[in-house]
Structure 1
């Protein structure tokens, strides 16, 4: 599994934007599509809310990549 540590510079980041900022997709729209297809897990559970708030301490996984959100 490939791990990415993402440094959060605010209270939260929307899930679709996190996927874009971490380099896992080209745009926020592509991130929304990934979420809608059920390809993204937050803290181990499939997340279907495209703009859910991701906060420090949470983990996002898609495919063989895991993003650890830090503050």
Structure 2
């Protein structure tokens, strides 16, 4: 399944913020939990840092849902 394109305003965004922006999770607490549990991957690699900086082109996956960071 093709990732959903999610535009950002700045040149980068933190992973926790992007999960909310992309509607992959509902709250910051949810972001903390799914990242800590190793359920989130960035560009195919498991990511456990909520503050990981994402840039346009990065692909974030949670379960069967995927979103790509794009230029605003």
* Secondary structure of residue in 2 paired with 1:7: strand
**How large is the Cα RMSD of the aligned pairs?**
1.2
- Structure 2: stretches of 5+ with no match in the other structure: none
Q: Equivalent residue for 2:42?
A: 42
Matches within 5 A, 1:4-19: 4-19=4-19
The ranges of structure 1 where at least 4 consecutive aligned residues each deviate by more than 4 angstroms after the TM superposition are: none
Q: CA deviation at 1:3?
A: 2.9
Q: TM-score, normalised by structure 2?
A: 0.89
- Structure 1: stretches of 5+ with no match in the other structure: none
C-alpha distance in structure 1 between counterparts of 2:36 and 2:9, whole Å? 26
Q: How many residues align?
A: 71
Q: TM-score, normalised by structure 1?
A: 0.90
Does the 8 Å CA contact 1:16/1:29 hold for their aligned counterparts? no
